[in-house]
Each structure stands twice: as structure tokens, then as C-alpha cells.
Amino acid sequence: MPSRKNSYLKTAVTRASKRITLPIELDEYCKIVNDPKAFRQWLDEMIACYPELFPAAIEKGYLLHDIRSSRKMPDIRLRRIKLKEADEQGKERVFTIAPSAVMPYMTGYTDDVEKGLFLRRFGVPFWALSYVFGRNDLYWYRLASHLGRYEILQTTLRGKGCLPEHLLADEKHIRFNGQKAYIATTVAEDCVLGASISLTADTDGLLEAYGHFKQETQRLQADYHPQTVNTDGWSPTQKAWRTLFPLVVIVECFLHAFLKIRARCKKRSRTSFHQIAHQVWKAYHAPTPETFQERLQSLQEWACQTLTGTTLAAINKLCAKAPLFRLAFDHPQAYRTSNMLDRQMRPMARWLENSCFFHGHLSSAERQMRAWALLHNFAPYCPRADVSKEYHSPAHKLNKSVYHTNWLHNLLISASMAGTDP
């Protein structure tokens, strides 16, 4: 049964969109949408200013195609353009140009739903959103679920255009229809860049889940290969990453090794624990790999003379992994501990608990999980946080720029063409 359900993940979670969302006030858009000359002048300015939001073939030219309206929002008319260059199959390439003030599929105005989606990031149930903001539970569910169809990686990296060389990866234990499941999470630079569900924690399951991250990297940069990835000691995780990226250097998390020591000795002898912790972190902060090795040897010699039982076994295990920990010295920018990943998993854990995990179809759970990742990356920081004085959100911190001051407008603009170039 697990293998059959895992097969659902082989279907495409994201899908190419022909919608290009641009930063413009709705009133201004409505003024120029019926004026071909004014619309083309504005669109040419957008292409020159934000070329990453448009398909590359737009450089060959485009034509104003037609204007469409919807029964849902009859007052809003959207103009479509047609590229002069056809696709590989010789078919016409037509795209809809939309303002960021209008949600996809004409489901509402962005400013009317952004507060509800902001609360959804914290796991506020859909019935509560309906109670406060109106509509119904299914309306809010569909709004959130639609965000999960966007590519996490390219949407988040829209303004930066280059992939991180150093990553962190780990699995979050969850419940899916009452059974154990795992979220294969990839993090870098305070952003969640991958989050896919696997029903098993073996190599095959994690290979498929982390494979979604690789697929998105290849669509952004075909020859991408990360230098390092920080993981814990779980062998299937490391095997999955070595299979996906054969040249990647696995940097084991030093913090996990310390936590195992703490769990075995803190309750028994607080004095001994403080001595052990001091020596362990003194070795961690060694300036050179040679000094690191020497300090771990001193720690092991002291432990053999002083300690016994499971505490000694945990320290010996840490010292035995010294060659793996030393790899980080060859990559100074690599993540040596999982602290950054843990900072992203804490709000993920709260969201999962508030949402009562997942019930239903696996593809629906996958979209909801990916939607949370984008909400997490683009939602504003807490105003009391020091980082909020300089950046609006993790995506802003990563890209050093935003398309719009409102977080949901910025997300929709970044997700133009669903993060792909169809």
C-alpha cells in the first residue's frame, strides 16, 4: 500500500501557467487595458525592468492578442499577448497579463484575502477564516491549495537568479491518515526551498521526495550541483542526496552528535555535563582541522579516564566521526549544524499540529505543504524581530529586493508562469 500511494508523487505537483503577474495599481491597469498604445508602452517598461518575469522568447517580440473578462469579476478585464516565436511544437504561445491586485482564476482581490492567507501560515483552520472573513471553508482551502501548485524554488529565488551552493536537509515526522509519514525538507539562507511528503523513511521514499527539489533546480539551472548538504546521521537521507547529486559533500550535523551526548549524561551529573559540553564546543570552534582533531582526541582521552557507560559510548561515537566533521573545514561557507533548518521546522511543526496533520489524498497534502513553504518564505517577519527593520520577509532577505511592499502581491508576482518558462 505505501508504494502505491507513493506513486502519486510521480505525477507533476506543479503545472505551467500562462499568467504573468505584474506590479501595478488596479485603477491604473483598468485605465490602460483598453488602450493598446498605452498598454504596450507600460508592458515594454515592465519587460525592461523585470525580464525574469517573462518568457525568454519575448525578446523576439509579441503581439497584443485579445481581452478577456470573467463572470466572477465582470469589472476586471485582462489582456493577453502572443509571442511572435512559437514553441518547439510550433504552437502559439499566449500569456495573460494580470495585475497583482487580482488573484488567479479571478477568485478575489488580493488585498481582501491576504490577511486570511497570512493567518493560514500559522495553521488557523479554514472554518475560522470563514467565520472572520466570510466566504466558506472550501473557498479558503482552494486559495491555499492553489499556492501549492507553484514551484517553491524558482518562485522564492525569482529576483536572485542563482541557486545556493550549501544546503541543509532533514525529514519532519508527521501523520498522514493516521500513519507515519515524513516531509523531506530542504533549507538554505533562511528559506524553505523544498518540502515534499514521503510515506516511508527508506532510501527509495526519500529519493523520490527530495527528487522534487532536484527537478525544480534543473528547470532553473540544468547543470546545478550543490557543494555541500548538511544532514543528520540517517543513512537513507545521505544515500538519497548522493544519488541525486553524486558530487555533493555530506556534512554531518555536529549539533546532533552533541545532543546525543547531552541526552545520556545531563540527568546523571550536571557537573560532568558542563565539562563535556565545554570541551565538545571548544573542539567545534577550532580554527583549523588539525586543531579540531587534536581537541577531539583530548576529549576522548579524558572521557576514557573519567566516564563510563552510555555517556562514554556517545563521546566515542562523536570522536569516531571526526573525519566526517572535518569535511566542513574544506568548505568554510557550509552549514556545520542544523540550526538554520531547525528555525524553519519549528513554525512548520506548529502549523502541522494546528492543522491536525493531513487527512485525505496525498496530492492534496503535498500541495498544502508546498503552499505553507511559500507562505513561510514570503509572509512578513514579526515587527519586533530585529531582522524586520531591514527586510520584509525571508524571500526579501534572500533576494535583497521585492516587487511589491505587500507580501502576497510579492508572492503572486514572483510566481509568474508558476515559476516555470512553459
Is 209 part of any domain? Answer: no
Is 88 part of any domain? Answer: yes
Q: How many residues does the chain have?
A: 422
Is 201 part of any domain? Answer: no
Is 317 part of any domain? Answer: yes
57-71 b/e (C-beta count within 10 Å ≥ 16 → b): ebeeebeebeeeeee
- CB-based contacts of 36: which residues, under 8 Å, 6+ apart? 64
**Total tally of structural domains belonging to the chain:** 2
Is 7 part of any domain? Answer: no
- CB-based contacts of 373: which residues, under 8 Å, 6+ apart? 152, 192, 194, 195
Contact 160, 153 (CB under 8 A): no
Instruction: Using the predicted structure, report yes or no on whether residue 97 has a pLDDT greater than 80.
Output: yes
Is 171 part of any domain? Answer: no
Segments forming the whole domain that contains residue 67:
24-99
pLDDT (average), residues 62-78? 92
Is 123 part of any domain? Answer: no
Instruction: Using the predicted structure, report yes or no on whether residue 9 has a pLDDT greater than 50.
Output: no
pTM assigned to the model: 0.90
Residue ending a domain, choose from 280, 305, 330: 330
**pLDDT at residue 158, as a whole number:** 82
Is 83 part of any domain? Answer: yes
Residue ending a domain, choose from 61, 76, 99: 99
Cell matching residue 79: 489582456
Q: With bands split at pLDDT 50, 70 and 90, how would you rate the model's confidence at 265?
A: confident
Q: With bands split at pLDDT 50, 70 and 90, how would you rate the model's confidence at 86?
A: confident
Residue ending a domain, choose from 273, 304, 330: 330
Contact 48, 40 (CB under 8 A): no
Question: Out of 68-82, 125-139, 268-282, which region has the weakest mean confidence (pLDDT)?
Answer: 268-282
Contact 221, 163 (CB under 8 A): yes
